[in-house]
Amino acid sequence: MTQTPRRVTRALLSVSDKTGLIDFARALAGHGVELVSTGGTAKAIAAAGLPVKDVSELTGFPEMMDGRVKTLHPKVHGGLLAIRDNDEHKQAMAAHGIPQIDLLVVNLYPFEATVDKGAGYEDCIENIDIGGPAMIRAAAKNHDDVAVVVEANDYQAVLDELTANKGATTLTLRKRLAAKAYARTAAYDAAISNWFALQLELEAPDFRAIGGRLIQSLRYGENPHQTAAFYATPEKRPGVATARQVQGKELSYNNINDTDAAYEAVGEFDAKRTAACVIVKHANPCGVAEGSSLLDAYHKALACDSVSAFGGIVALNRTLDAEAARAITEIFTEVIIAPDATDEAIAIVAAKKNLRLLLAGSLPDPRANGLTYKTVAGGLLVQSRDNAVVDDMALKVVTKRQPTEAELRDLKFAFRVGKHVKSNTIIYAKDLATVGIGAGQMSRVDSARIAARKAQDAAEAMKLAAPMTKGSVVASDAFFPFADGMLACIEAGATAVIQPGGSVRDDEVIKAADDAGIAMVFTGTRHFRH
């Protein structure tokens, strides 16, 4: 491997995205580089008045089969793969009239964009690039001699090196470009393979690839001694990855994780039906409420646990207005995320220069299909998104007492919230607001008691005569294995319970509910979240 800069005498350009192409081609020509190109790229360069050789002149073969075959030829791949200091390679090039190609510029057919716009099967297939990835991989393999560029963002780096090194590129740059090239083709193939799995309804394909594009490098991960970065996947789900940051400090790893949890939770609430607010701390909701306005919903959510809300994430399901913005900025908040914001609200938030304001454009669909990923040592767990929605469930009253209309409304609300709280989960709710949340405990009884204790603390802070769990309803993300957890909820003041059911001791739990005179509803659906 040589450290000697490699002079660029010939460049092959074949790009789908022509952003910056003409300026780059013009600069290359200024360095005495011969331009070789294909199809629409060659036409664009020629139309700009620059000399360009069509790849068919180099190969001696015309483009054929609707452009599917144009660069898959020994004179292209030989020019990319030939080792310049290898005598046998040089002799083969001379014997077969293979010109060396020192710079390859390729960005791929827009497969991901074609899928995003909902194109049909055949259109997606036609936008799978074959020649492009083959050339990219060849050039990247031979990075000792060839520079490969896969996106316009790197045009200037190449030009800077040509200027600094009398028309040559350094090995350092070629290595960096090669690494990026392989990552790009890997992400491209991942998008294609996952699309195929979806088309074929393969729940567990033999190979699962994940690809992403860097959104930003992060200062550190969950802790300062950990490195981290944020990547966008091909899935265009409204949320933190697609949101526009209007203002505030750079998002941290924990900000991104918590904001995603908050926005996914608030997406459960149809903005046409109600205003809703979710406040999250350490990836768990600490307050959730529906209201007549965002301001009303925020105040109700905050009342659940105003202590935990300090330094939290606030997610809203409607356009942030001035009234809600004023209230939210009264306490220290890390991030506000909403579909949109009024100009007045943006101006109010701007007074808190470190507060991040993210506008996502729309809400995530809680019913949408999709995949979630989690790493384990030496492996990757992949599952379909939990897209079960309580409104779609066949609820079954299993007790002698039926829930009242108000209780049933709050039961559905509580179960909707419980889907987004770490297991074991207990949610007390009243008047479409959480009044106590118990999250992530090893025992469901402990979650019930912690949630009740939180409600007592909130009552003391608001100088209420009794905790708001009195007369509340309660939701459990999974069945009660014994009656003790439910009895703890009843002791806290709950009058109705919603849970999946399915325990071998369901009869025992139902009897305890009947003995206490409370209503119980089974959903048949569990919402574990780990």
Q: What is the rounded CA–CA span in Å between residue 304 and residue 287? A: 5
Cβ atoms of residues 36 and 13 within 8 Å: yes
CB 233 within 8 A of CB 345: no
Q: Find the catalytic residue in 141, 299, 352, 470.
A: 141
pTM of the model: 0.90
The tens digit of pLDDT for each residue in 194-205 reads 999 999 999 899
For the stretch 79-132, pLDDT in tens is: 898 888 888 888 888 888 889 999 999 999 999 999 988 899 999 999 998 889
pLDDT in tens, 368-388: 999 999 999 999 999 999 999
By the 10 Å C-beta count (0-12 exposed, 13-18 middle, 19+ buried), 207 is classed as exposed
Confidence at residue 67, expressed as pLDDT on a 0 to 100 scale: 65
The CA radius of gyration of the chain, in Å to the nearest whole number, is 30
Give a three-class secondary structure readout of 410-425.
HHHHHHHHHCCCCCCC
How far apart (Å, rounded) are the C-alpha atoms in residues 31 and 155? 14
Known catalytic membership, residue 282:
yes
Place of tokens 């290898």: 86
Half-sphere exposure of 357 (CA within 13 A, CB side): 21
pLDDT tens string 150-169: 999 999 999 999 999 999 99
Say whether 141 is catalytic.
yes
Q: For the chain, what percent of residues have pLDDT higher than 90?
A: 84
Residue 502 pLDDT exceeds 80: yes
Share of residues in the chain with pLDDT > 70 (%): 98
447 close to 441: Cβ distance less than 8 angstroms = yes
Query: Active site residue: 31, 53, 90, 282, which one?
Result: 282
* Torsion of the alpha carbons at 284, 271, 235 and 255, rounded to the nearest 10: -30
